[in-house]
Amino acid sequence: MGGFFGIASREDCIAELYYGTDYHSHLGTKRGGLAVSRPEGFARVIHNIENSQFRSKFDDDIAGLRSRLGIGVISDTDDQPLLIRSQLGNYAIVTVGAVKNAEALAGEAFRSRHLHFSEMSGGVISPTEVVSTLINQGETFEEGIRIAQDSIQGSCSILILTDKGVFAARDKKGRTPIVIGRKDGTTAAAMETCAFPNLGFETIKYLGPGEIDFITADGFEMRKAPEDVLQICAFLWVYYGYPASSYEGINVELVRNTCGAYLARRNPIFIDFVAGIPDSGVGHGLGYAAEAGVPFKRPFVKYTPTWARSFMPQNQEVRDLVARMKLIPIKELIVGKKFLFCEDSIVRGTQLKDTVQRLYDVGALEVHMRPACPPLVYGCKFLNFSISRSEMDLAARRAIREIDGEHVEDFSEYTKSGTDKYNAMEESIRKRLNLTTLKYQRLEDLVEAIGLPKTKLCTYCWDGVEPK
């Protein structure tokens, strides 16, 4: 999903900018970039980070940068930051989210005599440049950001670097977070609170949905009050979020432990031990083991020094190869055992099916699975989750096709745990994955584990519900 970091300081802050940016999600991301404001003007560096660490690409660059103002980004798709010259002045911009109507917005810009877009990748216009074009329609940055947020379908959180400070603007429904941290003489904005502790910052504020704040070395000023409707992505706590981070003041690892405990309470079963598919299933598995009173063990370990994330490659065959090569089974823990895996979710299930078969091949007697969230029935409309996947490839959708054919329009019975159709879908997925048992997390339990009212969470991918 990516992330960004902005900073304003009385002293040089390049080290904080460098490390603060790196402390953000690297799941499936393609580009990393930094921009700084200096007396002689703006400077930026951008690197491809698809197959290498962010820090290894920027070591040489930061040695020559000095500044008291900067922004950085880990980007899902496009080259960022962008340097813009407009009637608002010179600025740098980064975005995180998904501008689902970027091509339509670009078409409107062409019709209004905006003659070209310069940032292209694979023939696709940069969504960040589209956003900047919308912002430039305003008389002020605040007005321009409001124009952009009202025009965007999907979601978009924004940092804008000026020569006076940094604008931080959370997306209109608050689907992604922005937090502000402070230490003496320095203010920072980030998407992950885990960016702050090791850099000496204290988290002092969570921006509300649609809120705009302006950050300087002396602190921050609200330039636009929050909107009334919050729809933060619940999948942050399930998978995307880093365990050390908190969103809306609620820690990710604690929620995952609680999710695991709910899974253990709902469907008790006799097993020898519990495991978590590394890494995102580990927190859930630890919570399950503690609640069930059974050991937590690691029948697989990850080999990460040379194998990239399986989420990252766009080619499915490469993803499957990476997933297989980086998980090394420990035969001594597997042979003759009955055990249960916790996993964050089942998206398509292609890698999971292979993992389960490997366990049986090594000598497992029973392999049970407990995903920490409900079945994914709908493709995400608001963020870049499953960006390269067809909705019809979801494991739940394949199961629904098997049960009711190709032309199902009403999925409501498949999203309610305990209904006949839900149970049939769950059983179909279990059979396809060759699991001994499969029981998904109930949506009510996930919401309770997070601790926010359901009306403040986006749960669209599970139940198709959108705010009125």
In this predicted model, what pLDDT tens digit does every residue of 324-382 receive, in sequence order? 667 889 999 999 999 999 999 999 888 889 999 999 999 999 999 999 999 999 999 99
Q: Is the pLDDT assigned to residue 255 strictly greater than 90? A: yes
Tokens of 444: 């009510």
Residue 135 has pLDDT above 60, yes or no: yes
Give yes or no for a cis peptide into 279 (omega within 30° of 0): yes
Mean pLDDT, rounded, of the chain? 90
Separation of alpha carbons 257 and 449, rounded Å? 9
Q: Could you tell me which residues come within 8 angstroms of residue 116 by beta carbon, excluding any fewer than 6 positions away?
A: none
**What's the confidence (pLDDT) of residue 321?**
59
307: pLDDT confidence band, cut at 50, 70 and 90? low
Does 388 score more than 70 pLDDT? no
For 29-81, the pLDDT digits (tens) are 788 999 999 999 999 999 888 777 777 788 888 888 899 999 999 988 789 99
Q: What is the pLDDT of residue 463?
A: 96
Q: What is the DSSP letter of 442?
A: P
Beta-strand relationship, 366-371 and 437-438:
parallel
What is residue 62's predicted lDDT score, i.e. its pLDDT?
A: 85
The Cα–Cα gap between 429 and 423 comes to 10
DSSP bridge pairs for 186:
9, 183
Q: Of 412, 354, 382, 129, whose CA–CA distance to 240 is shortest? A: 382
Position 5 confidence tier, pLDDT thresholds 50, 70, 90 = very high
* 314 CB-contact burial (10 Å; exposed 0-12 / middle 13-18 / buried 19+): exposed
Greatest Cα-to-Cα distance within the chain, rounded to the nearest angstrom: 71
Identity at 398, one-letter amino acid code: R
- pLDDT in the model for residue 162: 98
Query: Taking 90 as the threshold, does the pLDDT of residue 269 lie above it?
Result: yes
With vertex at residue 328, the alpha carbon angle to CA 325 and CA 329, rounded to the nearest 5 degrees, is 135
According to the model, what pLDDT value does residue 109 have? 75
Domain with CATH 3.40.50.2020 in the chain: 250-451
Q: pLDDT tens across 203-250, in order?
A: 999 999 999 999 999 999 999 999 999 999 999 999 999 999 999 999
Q: What is the mean pLDDT of residues 135-159?
A: 96
- Residue 3 CA: distances (Å) to CA of 84, 158, 183, 435, 438: 20, 10, 21, 35, 33
Location of each CATH 3.60.20.10 domain in the chain? 3-230
Q: Which two tokens stand for residue 258?
A: 């609680």
Asked whether the predicted pLDDT for residue 122 surpasses 70, the reply is: no
The amino acid that residue 6 corresponds to is: G
Beta bridge partners of 228: none
Task: Give the model's pLDDT for residue 2.
Answer: 86
d(CA 20, CA 5): 6
Q: Does domain 250-451 sit in CATH 3.40.50.2020?
A: yes
Over residues 449-466, mean pLDDT: 96
Residue 350: the pLDDT is 84
Residue 319 pLDDT: 58
Q: What is the mean pLDDT of residues 112-122?
A: 57
The reported pLDDT for the residue numbered 30 is 80
Written as six digits, the tokens of 26 are 């690297």
End-to-end alpha carbon distance in the chain: 26
Q: What pLDDT is recorded for position 311? A: 46
| pLDDT of 287 | 98
Q: pTM value?
A: 0.92
Q: Looking at residue 452, what is its pLDDT?
A: 98
Q: Rounded to an integer, what distance in angstroms lies between the CA atom of residue 344 and that of residue 192?
A: 19
3-230: in CATH 3.40.50.720: no
